[in-house]
């Protein structure tokens, strides 16, 4: 299997050029569902490969909050295809991106940069607009006379930028080609289109359209004091004073109303977790939108992170009941009880019973069971979660480790095969198939399953090669 970088550069500098007649027309109102499916296949392929290249955030609470906001906003958007996949990248740098096929990537650091949910949703709405306006397809059509498969290079460079910002920015410039003026002009028009469509989405969902120019102005202002370290979001979403002014004027002509959809408490829980993870709690505590309860919870998490149980208890006692009884806050309480050598089973059982279908609760409990050495219960929870989220490679990774602890070699091999396959690491998946065969010489059921999976993996590998050849 070719690596991510090799695929990227092979799309930038193809060996065999195709004629423009052989390329699909991806623009205009006559787009077929088949063309949309082609884009989705490409985006899904990149997503799988990215899972092998980027570090994903292993925090089910943050992931759950962001997923919930995506699902809430999507019905109000102009997306034709509302099938969405979220990748939460474990990076403090501010960035978000969209890729064809409904792929939305958000760096965890974006939560720290946004002070309100409206600002966060403005970024998501903007990324939805890039998808709904088919900007990737437009770039492909504009460049197809010069270079085939530019769409793959554009997607690859944007996704690569979330792993290595400098490499991604360089690749993006090389991918689009043509003259610098034409490239910049096209990019500016895309951004203006996305601003307008994103604002329409915000208004339809009950959010403040002013949040979008406010967010861009806030990032641009912060960048002025950051030296040469331009945030990746500003590299792929260039912001100018005229653009900010234009979007501000447009937003002023759009209605703004209070929406009951705003979820301040969940937002602040997610922001606090990210802030403590990156040691940026002071940045959060200085934000004007933070109320006393959110400050206390942030300080509570910080005390837990440095094993100051007395301080943690003091902050816990100061939290209002509405915070203490929140299931995501109670998950942090489990950590405190464990540090204090106090019983945790009763609270864990209560959370499992009360929130059997809550992704954040169940995934966090699986993590706690794993860390406590309760292997069998952790396995049961991860298996349940994977039935509902079969593409979650973090779950597959943890489950494989747990099967190893149980010395369940058959399930260990099966889970590792799925782990590598979901990350598009086909060579590693096929190698794992061979390892499994050696341990299953007298197990006809396992051998039959391995033969079937080998055939499926090889077919998948051929399909990937066709996408990027």
Position with higher pLDDT, 390 vs 38: 390
The secondary structure of 362-419 as a DSSP string is: HHHHHHHHHHHT-HHHHHHHHHHHHHH-TT-HHHHHHHHHHHHHTT-HHHHHHHHHHH
Copy the structure tokens of residue 367.
């993590």
Copy the structure tokens of residue 190.
């895309």
- What's the rounded mean pLDDT across residues 162-175? 46
| Number of helices followed by number of strands (H, E) in the chain | 25, 3
Give me the pLDDT at residue 134, please: 62
- What's the rounded mean pLDDT across residues 108-120? 93
Copy the structure tokens of residue 463.
């399909």
Mean pLDDT lowest among 66-80, 133-147, 341-355: 133-147
- What's the rounded mean pLDDT across residues 255-262? 65
Q: What is the dihedral of CA 316, 318, 319, 324, to 10 degrees?
A: 50
For the chain, give the mean pLDDT: 81
Q: Which of 20, 236, 25 is nearest to 138 (CA)?
A: 25
Q: Token pair 């090799």 is at which residue?
A: 6
Give me the pLDDT at residue 187, please: 64
Question: Buried b vs exposed e over 11-40: b needs ≥16 C-beta within 10 Å?
Answer: bbebeeeeeeeebbebbeeebeeebbebbb
Mind listing the pLDDT tens digit for each residue in 215-247? 888 877 766 655 545 566 666 676 667 777 877
* Widest CA span in the chain: 73
Mind listing the pLDDT tens digit for each residue in 125-168? 999 998 887 645 555 545 444 444 455 555 555 555 555 554 44
Q: What is the DSSP letter of 56?
A: B
Copy the structure tokens of residue 33.
């569902």
The answer to whether residues 143 and 177 touch, using CB atoms and an 8 Å cutoff, is: yes
Q: Which of 363, 398, 407 is nearest to 384 (CA)?
A: 363
Instruction: Spell out the residues 6+ positions from residue 401 whose beta carbon is closer than 8 angstroms to its own.
Output: none
Copy the structure tokens of residue 250.
């447009």
Mean pLDDT lowest among 23-32, 86-95, 219-228, 424-433: 23-32
Give me the pLDDT at residue 184, please: 36
């Amino acid at each position: 299997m070719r690596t991510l970088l090799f695929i990227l550069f092979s799309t930038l500098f193809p060996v065999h050029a195709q004629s423009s007649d052989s390329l699909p027309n991806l623009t205009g109102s006559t787009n077929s569902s088949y063309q949309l499916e082609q884009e989705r296949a490409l985006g899904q392929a990149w997503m799988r490969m990215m899972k092998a290249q980027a570090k994903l955030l292993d925090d089910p609470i943050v992931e759950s909050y962001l997923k919930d906001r995506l699902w809430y906003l999507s019905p109000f958007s102009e997306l034709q295809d509302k099938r969405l996949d979220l990748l939460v990248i474990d990076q403090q740098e501010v960035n978000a991106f969209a890729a064809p096929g409904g792929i939305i990537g958000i760096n965890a650091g974006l939560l720290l940069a946004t002070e309100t949910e409206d600002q966060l949703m403005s970024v998501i709405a903007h990324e939805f607009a890039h998808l709904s306006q088919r900007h990737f397809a437009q770039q492909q059509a504009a460049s197809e006379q010069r270079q085939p498969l530019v769409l793959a290079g554009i997607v690859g460079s944007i996704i690569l930028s979330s792993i290595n910002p400098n490499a991604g920015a360089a690749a993006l410039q090389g991918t689009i080609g043509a003259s610098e003026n034409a490239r910049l002009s096209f990019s500016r028009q895309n951004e203006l289109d996305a601003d307008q469509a994103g604002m329409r989405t915000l208004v339809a969902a009950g959010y403040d359209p002013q949040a979008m120019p406010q967010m861009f102005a806030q990032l641009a202002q912060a960048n002025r004091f950051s030296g040469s370290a331009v945030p990746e979001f500003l590299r792929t979403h260039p912001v100018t004073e005229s653009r900010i002014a234009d979007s501000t004027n447009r937003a002023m002509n759009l209605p703004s109303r209070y929406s009951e959809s705003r979820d301040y408490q969940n937002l602040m829980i997610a922001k606090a977790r990210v802030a403590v993870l990156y040691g940026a709690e002071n940045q959060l505590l200085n934000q004007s939108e933070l109320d006393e309860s959110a400050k206390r919870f942030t300080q509570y998490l910080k005390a837990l992170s440095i094993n100051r149980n007395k301080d943690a208890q003091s902050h816990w006692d100061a939290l209002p009941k509405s915070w203490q009884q929140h299931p995501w806050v109670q998950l942090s309480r489990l950590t405190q009880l464990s540090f204090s050598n106090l019983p945790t089973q009763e609270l864990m059982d209560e959370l499992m019973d009360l929130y059997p279908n809550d992704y954040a609760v169940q995934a966090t409990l699986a993590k706690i069971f794993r860390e406590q050495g309760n292997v069998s219960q952790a396995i049961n929870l991860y298996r349940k979660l994977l039935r509902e989220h079969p593409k979650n490679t973090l779950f597959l990774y943890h489950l494989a480790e747990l099967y190893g602890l149980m010395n369940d070699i058959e399930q260990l091999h099966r889970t590792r095969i799925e782990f590598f396959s979901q990350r598009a690491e086909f060579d590693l998946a096929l190698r794992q198939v061979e390892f499994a065969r050696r341990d299953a010489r007298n197990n006809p059921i396992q051998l039959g399953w391995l033969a079937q999976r080998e055939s499926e993996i090889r077919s998948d590998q051929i399909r990937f090669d066709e996408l990027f050849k």
